[in-house]
Amino acid sequence: MGPLIQLGRRLGLYALAAWVALTLNFLLPRLMPGDPAQALYARFQGRIEPAALDSLRVTLGLSDAPLATQYVLYLQQLAHGELGTSLVYFPEPVSAVIGTGLGWTVFLAGGALVVSFLLGSTIGALAAWRRGGWLDTVAPPLLSFLGAFPYFWMAMAAAWGLGFELGWFPVRHAYGPEVQAGATLEFVASALRHALLPGATMVVASLGGWVLTMRNAMLVVLGDDPIRYAQARGLPPGRIFLHYAIRNALLPSLTSFGMAIGFVVSGALLTEIVFAYPGQGYLLLQAVRGQDYPLLQGLFLTITLAVLGANAVVDALIIALDPRART
Amino acid sequence: MSARNSTRTTTPATRLGLTLVSAFALIALIGPFFVGDPTAFVAAPLQAPSAAHWLGTTGQGQDVLAQTVVGARTTLLVGALVGAVVVAIGALTGATAAFLGGAVDAALTWIINVSLVMPGLPLMVVIAAWLPPGPVTMAAVLALTGWPWHARVVRAQVLSIRSRDFVSACIVSGEPTWRIVVVEILPNLASLLGSAFIGATLYAIGAQVGLEFLGLGDLSGVSWGTNLYWATNDSALLVGAWWTFVPTGVCVAGVGFGLSLLGFALDARANPRLRVSGASGPGPQPTPVRRGDD
């Protein structure tokens, strides 16, 4: 199979998944048992502005039109980026509320994912290279133990210990109150300082997986003929490690990279809540607490589509980089 | 891990895993009989650990020890049940796809792959938000999102077993398909399914704690996730009340670490390359169960 056909198949899969997400988002409020939508609508009636009530009607699917007509209308609205009006942040439209948080989540989750991948794969490769050495003895069990803690608990412990007790790091928000958001050096420095602790807890919680994947792949590669041949030819060990072993062992880690995006984003959502970090996770909490269904569904849609898009990019990169993936 | 392990001996890591998991199972089973009512108001809120309350009190004056012990029962029960259900759904779907082949396989593989690429937490949150909160909702949401990975692994494995002679013999002798799958093929997957069950339980505990932390659990009940929810809600962090969230977190991690260690032991048993270094020590070769992946 040619790489293009393979790429097409993968992209087709993501397109299908995106359609399933869109349709689920449409069907969930309309198919839930016991008509909670009606009950909710009744609860909010009289408590919020008429405009919000109308928006709620549309989001909850309280319409007498046939399902197919509603579906077409729903897709049309989505195509225009209309996700309804938020109840918690009334009268802000959901799309505007989500837009403010998306960048922070991408920054936090993306940064943590890349750092964790690079650091973990390096530790795993070195551990396998010096099998039975101190790194191989200490790192895998220690990191598996740390990885057993929930992401957000790690965040709570770090926020309490390093933040409140020792006061080394800021523990709330994405940047300090003293700086203005903008392309200034102070703002960037403040944002980095605020992201350090949440990012670090996510790296610590997810490092173990990368270490183990890379270590196990390296062990298999190191036992294979090309490595023995390279050793027999008398190539320097450093060259064998970098050019022969790592390059061949990286495929399983790269393949898990796509799947890890979903996990890390989920972890980031909960970590944000602990640090009151103004990303998608914090909005998710507001939506759940305030039973803001339009916001909740908008968040589900944007997070899912973002993860699917990132996955598609990673898959395309893998197919382009590694000939073995083109099978 | 020494290079001379045979399949029979247990490593210290495996023993530690077994000890941790059994200890928590025991706490969940009989612990609640030894502590008081976890929801009762027993002392002033946010008291540090003392002789009267070994792990202190919560922001609502409840005993943290009682909450942790009773929470173990709820969380582990839901975790193990969901783990079993998830593996059962995954195994049946995967085995059916691999065994029937053709259009059924193609359709099921698409469903499996689409479910695999969907990020779990947002989906769980949006479904859980629409259902009435409670253990049943929690279990259903976790089961719904957890099965596809196991379906994929089982499908690959069944594909390889399917092509062996004894299965062909069953087909020729006219055994019904469901019987071949359930009686002839699934028992060959025992070690794979065991490892899958451990992984699925681990996932179920983690995801459940996360969802409850978000406030999507049954907030009137007591579980590890709701303990952590109340700890943040009552601003325990702001007043330095570490005892309200440390015991529960350590328990979650203890169970998780124990389960991971057991999982590694099962994987090493199934995949000799992870256990024996290089070409040394021939040792008894266990049945290779991962041969059909290519």
Digit-coded pLDDT (tens) for A214-253: 888 888 888 788 888 888 888 888 888 888 888 888 877 8
The length of chain B is: 294
At A62, is the pLDDT very low, low, confident or very high (cuts 50, 70, 90)?
low
Which of A9-23, A172-186, B207-221, B271-285 is predicted with the least confidence, judged by mean pLDDT? B271-285
Smallest Cβ distance to B119: which of A24, A148, A262?
Answer: A262
Question: Which residues, including other chains, have CB under 8 Å from residue B69's CB and lie 6 or more apart?
Answer: B27, B31, B32, B34, B35, B38
Between the alpha carbon of residue B190 and those of residues A67, B185, B212, the distances in Å are 45, 10, 32
pTM: 0.80
Residue B53 has which token pair?
Answer: 């309350």
Percent of chain B with pLDDT over 90: 7
How far is Cα B211 from Cα B200, in angstroms, rounded to an integer? 16
How far is Cα A161 from Cα A140, in angstroms, rounded to an integer? 25
Instruction: Give the residue-averaged pLDDT of B264-290.
Output: 52
Between the alpha carbon of residue A22 and those of residues A83, A315, B59, the distances in Å are 12, 22, 41
Tell me what pLDDT residue A51 has: 67
**pLDDT tens digits, one per residue of A4-35:** 887 888 888 889 989 998 888 888 877 765 55
Instruction: Give the residue-averaged pLDDT of B175-196.
Output: 82
Instruction: Tell me if A11 is assigned to some domain.
Output: no
Tell me what pLDDT residue B276 has: 45
Please, what is the average pLDDT of chain A?
A: 81
At A42, is the pLDDT very low, low, confident or very high (cuts 50, 70, 90)?
low
Tell me what pLDDT residue A104 has: 86
At A119, is the pLDDT very low, low, confident or very high (cuts 50, 70, 90)?
very high
Instruction: Give the residue-averaged pLDDT of B239-261.
Output: 85
What is the per-residue DSSP string for A286-297? Answer: HHHHTT-HHHHH
Tell me what pLDDT residue A103 has: 84
pLDDT value at A317 more than 80: yes
CA distance A44 to chain B (A): 16
Percent of chain B with pLDDT over 70: 88
CATH number of the domain residue A229 falls in: 1.10.3720.10
CA distance A34 to chain B (A): 9
User: Nearest Cα to A275, choosing from A184, A180, A162?
Assistant: A162
Instruction: Tell me if A15 is assigned to some domain.
Output: no
Tell me what pLDDT residue A52 has: 65
At B214, is the pLDDT very low, low, confident or very high (cuts 50, 70, 90)?
confident
**pLDDT tens digits, one per residue of B62-85:** 888 888 888 888 889 999 999 999
A181 at interface of B, judged by CB pairs closer than 8 A: no
* Cβ-Cβ contacts under 8 Å, B131 against chain A: 32
Question: Which residues, including other chains, have CB under 8 Å from residue B49's CB and lie 6 or more apart?
Answer: B55, B56, B64, B243
Tell me what pLDDT residue B125 has: 85
Tell me what pLDDT residue A151 has: 80
pLDDT value at B55 more than 80: no
Tell me what pLDDT residue B273 has: 58
At B293, is the pLDDT very low, low, confident or very high (cuts 50, 70, 90)?
very low
Smallest Cβ distance to B117: which of A17, A149, A288?
Answer: A17
Report the chain A residue with the minimal C-alpha distance to residue B116: A259
Instruction: Give the residue-averaged pLDDT of A148-163.
Output: 82
The winner for highest mean pLDDT among A66-80, A234-248, B89-103, B234-248 is: B89-103
Tell me what pLDDT residue B282 has: 37
Smallest Cβ distance to A159: which of B110, B117, B237?
Answer: B237
Residue A138 has which token pair?
Answer: 């200490």
Helix and strand totals (H; E) in chain B: 12, 0
Say whether B117 and A308 touch across the interface (CB within 8 A): yes
Between the alpha carbon of residue A250 and those of residues A218, A325, B136, B152, the distances in Å are 8, 12, 41, 22
Tell me what pLDDT residue B292 has: 33
**CB-based contact B151:B97 (threshold 8 Å):** yes
Instruction: Tell me if A187 is assigned to some domain.
Output: yes
CB < 8 Å from B in window 123-162 of A: 131-132, 141, 144-145, 147-153, 156-157, 159-160
Tell me what pLDDT residue B87 has: 92
How far is Cα A183 from Cα A26, in angstroms, rounded to an integer? 39
How far is Cα B185 from Cα B150, in angstroms, rounded to an integer? 16
Residue B7 has which token pair?
Answer: 């399949």
**pLDDT tens digits, one per residue of B158-170:** 888 888 888 888 8
Instruction: Tell me if A20 is assigned to some domain.
Output: no
**pLDDT tens digits, one per residue of A225-236:** 888 888 888 888
User: Nearest Cα to A241, choosing from A140, A159, A322, A127?
Assistant: A127
The amino acid that residue B202 corresponds to is: L
**CB-based contact B66:B127 (threshold 8 Å):** no
Q: What is the DSSP letter of B282?
A: -
pLDDT value at B112 more than 80: yes
* Residue A93 phi, psi (nearest 5): -70, 150
Instruction: Tell me if A38 is assigned to some domain.
Output: no
Q: How many domains does chain A have?
A: 1
Instruction: Tell me if A35 is assigned to some domain.
Output: no
Say whether B125 and A17 touch across the interface (CB within 8 A): no
Longest dimension (CA), chain B: 74
At A61, is the pLDDT very low, low, confident or very high (cuts 50, 70, 90)?
low
Instruction: Tell me if A71 is assigned to some domain.
Output: no
* Residue A276 phi, psi (nearest 5): 50, 40
CA distance B43 to chain A (A): 24
Tell me what pLDDT residue B89 has: 92
* Cβ-Cβ contacts under 8 Å, B201 against chain A: none
Instruction: Give the residue-averaged pLDDT of B186-195.
Output: 82
Tell me what pLDDT residue A306 has: 85
Instruction: Tell me if A70 is assigned to some domain.
Output: no
- Helical spans, DSSP H, in B101-176: 102-117, 120-130, 135-146, 148-162, 165-172
User: Nearest Cα to A253, choosing from A207, A222, A185?
Assistant: A207
At A60, is the pLDDT very low, low, confident or very high (cuts 50, 70, 90)?
low
Q: Is B144 helix (H, G, I), strand (E, B) or coil?
A: helix
Please, what is the average pLDDT of chain B?
A: 80
What domain range is A160 assigned to?
94-326
A182 at interface of B, judged by CB pairs closer than 8 A: no
Burial (CB < 10 A; 0-12, 13-18, 19+), residue A106, is middle
How far is Cα A221 from Cα B13, in angstroms, rounded to an integer? 25
pLDDT value at A88 more than 90: no
Say whether B252 and A149 touch across the interface (CB within 8 A): yes
Smallest Cβ distance to B214: which of A25, A36, A288?
Answer: A288
**CB-based contact A293:A32 (threshold 8 Å):** no
pLDDT value at B270 more than 70: no
Say whether B118 and A262 touch across the interface (CB within 8 A): yes
CB < 8 Å from B in window 40-79 of A: none
Tell me what pLDDT residue B281 has: 36
Rounded (10°) angle between helices A185-222 and A151-158: 130
Tell me what pLDDT residue A47 has: 64
* Cβ-Cβ contacts under 8 Å, B279 against chain A: 223
